[in-house]
């Protein structure tokens, strides 16, 4: 396998787990073979959604069947409304009715919602069953499928229930992105741009040039490597992993103000990164040239929009977040492209800075 130049294997090792990440064009076609070699059980339950299943479910089922697996599946309605405990419960029932054991395998075939929901069901069913993530969106390929964060939303907020559960295997095939609508692809680009700003400015240089398919593969792989390296240092998100939240603190407030449908995650993160750079400039920490650089990239991927909410309402949405448990917040700032750090701010200073930056 490793002699195939199109497939690269990365290992994400933590104190209690080892996640094998296979990356490259055509990797999907090896799904049955790779899982057949790694997993003892011969049952696989694939979870997908109504957008992805018509494109890939029969093909992926066949790839597993050809390698001796008995395949069953659940198809959830596409969209954030499926990221609930009700969906997790429905998955448990399907796992039980197909007599899935801990030796068997659950496959998440889809974007972030499917990956997060299925990941949480896999983490908790029988106290943990084998899990393979096959991410089908750019956002899921570079972020949510790697690193083990999984969970669901409650009525009172997003991602309020969840776990850290490393997938045993992740299969990332950039060819699967060819079926994506352009705006969904662009949405994922916000996260790729994030990796450039927090850890590797060469990603930004690539995105600024004439991007072809090979370069897109390169920036995805580099993003996954960065995430793998960060998660290996801090799986539980208590220190360096927080830098992955660059642009997300204000981005999340914007998503919340739009009822989680006015702005996509990528659009919100894009605007959140811009605000975070402006905030860093106001504090005298961030280089001023980062703003035109980010603007140029956001224009390129149609992620540069006006913020339509008032600065005080954004500050309120951010500071009323149920996940804020203390009087300070770890805010991610950039010094120069490729160099991020955690800056602790009191909630009061953050409010004042947001109002100043977004006025």
Residues contributing to the site for ligand GLY (CB under 6 A): 143, 147, 149, 237, 241, 244
Residues 6+ apart with CB under 8 A from 339: none
User: Please, what is the minimum distance in Å from the beta carbon of residue 149 to ligand GLY?
Assistant: 5
Which three-class secondary structure state does DSSP give residue 306? coil
Which three-class secondary structure state does DSSP give residue 122? helix
User: Please, what is the minimum distance in Å from the beta carbon of residue 21 to ligand GLY?
Assistant: 14
Listed residue (280, 275, 256) closest to 334, CA to CA: 280
Are 60 and 107 in contact by the 8 Å Cβ rule? The answer is yes
Dist. CA 127–CA 168, nearest whole Å: 15
According to DSSP, residue 263 is labeled S
Q: Return the number of the residue (8 or 241) whose C-beta is nearest ligand GLY.
A: 241
User: Please, what is the minimum distance in Å from the beta carbon of residue 240 to ligand GLY?
Assistant: 10
Q: Which residues pair with 342 in a beta bridge?
A: 332
φ/ψ bin of 147: left (φ > 0), alpha (ψ from -120 to 50), beta (otherwise): left
Are 304 and 272 in contact by the 8 Å Cβ rule? The answer is no
Q: What is the dihedral of CA 252, 223, 201, 329, to 10 degrees?
A: 30
Q: Return the number of the residue (112 or 337) whose C-beta is nearest ligand GLY.
A: 112
Q: Which residue's C-beta sits nearest to ligand GLY?
A: 244
User: Please, what is the minimum distance in Å from the beta carbon of residue 68 to ligand GLY?
Assistant: 34
For the chain, how big is the Rg over CA atoms in Å? 20
User: Please, what is the minimum distance in Å from the beta carbon of residue 198 to ligand GLY?
Assistant: 11
Q: Return the number of the residue (104 or 153) whose C-beta is nearest ligand GLY.
A: 153
Q: Return the number of the residue (143 or 225) whose C-beta is nearest ligand GLY.
A: 143
Q: Return the number of the residue (45 or 228) whose C-beta is nearest ligand GLY.
A: 228
User: Please, what is the minimum distance in Å from the beta carbon of residue 322 to ligand GLY?
Assistant: 18
Q: Return the number of the residue (143 or 187) whose C-beta is nearest ligand GLY.
A: 143
Dist. CA 31–CA 35, nearest whole Å: 6
């Amino acid at each position: 396998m490793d002699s195939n130049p199109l497939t690269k294997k990365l290992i994400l090792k933590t104190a209690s787990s080892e996640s094998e990440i296979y990356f490259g064009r055509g990797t999907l076609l090896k799904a049955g073979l790779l899982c057949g070699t790694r997993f003892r059980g011969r049952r696989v339950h694939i979870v997908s959604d109504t957008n992805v299943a018509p494109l890939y479910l029969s093909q992926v089922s066949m790839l597993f069947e050809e390698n001796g697996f008995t395949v069953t599946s659940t198809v959830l309605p596409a969209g954030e409304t499926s990221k609930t405990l009700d969906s997790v419960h429905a998955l448990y029932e399907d796992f039980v009715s197909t007599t899935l054991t801990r030796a068997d395998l659950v496959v998440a075939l889809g974007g972030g919602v499917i990956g997060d929901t299925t990941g949480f069901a896999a983490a908790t069913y029988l106290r943990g069953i084998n899990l393979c993530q096959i991410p089908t969106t750019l956002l899921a390929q570079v972020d949510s499928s790697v690193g083990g964060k999984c969970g669901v939303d409650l009525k009172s907020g997003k991602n309020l229930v969840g776990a850290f559960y490393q997938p045993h295997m992740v299969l990332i095939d950039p060819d699967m992105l060819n079926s994506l609508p352009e705006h969904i692809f662009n949405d994922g680009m916000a996260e790729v741009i994030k990796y450039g700003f927090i850890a590797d400015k060469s990603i930004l240089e690539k995105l600024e040039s004439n991007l072809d398919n090979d370069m897109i593969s390169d920036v995805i792989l580099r993003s996954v490597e960065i995430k793998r390296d960060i998660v290996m240092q801090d799986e539980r998100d208590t220190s360096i992993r927080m830098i992955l939240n660059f642009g997300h603190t204000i981005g999340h407030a914007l998503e919340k103000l739009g009822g989680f449908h006015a702005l996509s995650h990528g659009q919100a993160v894009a605007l959140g990164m811009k605000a975070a750079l402006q905030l860093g400039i106001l504090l005298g920490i961030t280089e001023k040239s980062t703003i035109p650089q980010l603007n140029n990239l956001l224009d390129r991927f149609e992620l540069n929009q006006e913020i339509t909410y008032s600065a005080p309402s954004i500050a309120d949405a951010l500071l009323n977040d149920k996940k804020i448990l203390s009087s300070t917040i770890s805010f991610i700032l950039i010094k120069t492209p490729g160099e991020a750090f955690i800056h602790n701010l009191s909630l009061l200073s953050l409010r004042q800075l947001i109002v100043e930056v977004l006025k």
